[in-house]
Structure 1
């Protein structure tokens, strides 16, 4: 039986789903909490691009949106340019936004990672960035992003 390498995160955010959704799809809002440059085309088949993650600020991630249900759900492929282990489009990120307790419950699953080391590295990255997203979407300044080492 093949072991699944999956990262899961859940966090309550003090902002409505529409606000959180914007922070996940609008390039200007994305870079307030993750990366230095972003480009998105939030429709099935559309581009997902992010540059400036981790300790190597020149590193870029690329994928394509697979599912976009405004203010409720996103699914997009994901991978790192110049990576043999996690190349662009090789993994899948699914995010559900649930209206709960006067805010949003974000549930994220990152599947398709190739091994335990990549799973651990991406888990560390998601812990960092989901907390930064929570702050930014709630109208707080997450501060400068110092990045996370060891992703992909």
Structure 2
């Protein structure tokens, strides 16, 4: 299994950024076209991204510093719903928040595609989390673009 790590800085306090990880409106401001979230441990994590149904559960919700969700795709044999884990750590810094993202338990062949996705979505979180408009999202998965 593979892991992906990245971090961004957002010009907003952790309390503001946290809302973009736990609410339907917050999530779709930067990632996905539809979200159905129940941000409690064991609660539903469902986000549709470019026609791909990401499904899992909230594993940890520690306001305003940490969110961990299980992650996978409904109907996918290689990365089924809930089979990997995404952790967001929010740390206050001068001028805002540092967000450290770790995506664990990825099948090695899926690492490049997820790295590509997070490279697209994390800057959108930085914009939305700071109160800006990330704009319409026309991202498509790397595998779709290479086909």
Q: By the TM > 0.5 criterion, same fold?
A: yes
RMSD, aligned α-carbons: 1.4
2:31 alignment partner in structure 1: 34
- Cα distance, 1:151–1:135 mapped onto 2, change above 3 Å: farther
1:135 counterpart (104, 117, 127): 127
Q: Deviations over 1:17-38 (max 9, x none)?
A: 0111001111011111111110
Decide which structure has greater helix share. Answer: 2
| Distance in 2 between residues matched to 1:142 and 1:66, nearest whole Å | 27
2:53 counterpart (49, 53, 60): 60
Q: Please list every run of 5 or more consecutive structure 2 residues that lacks an aligned counterpart in the other structure.
A: none
Scaled by the length of structure 1, what TM-score is found? 0.90
1:145 counterpart (120, 137, 144): 137
| Distance in 1 between residues matched to 2:128 and 2:107, nearest whole Å | 31
1:102 alignment partner in structure 2: 95
1:43 alignment partner in structure 2: 40
Q: Please list every run of 5 or more consecutive structure 1 residues that lacks an aligned counterpart in the other structure.
A: none
CA contact (8 A) 1:10 1:108 kept: yes
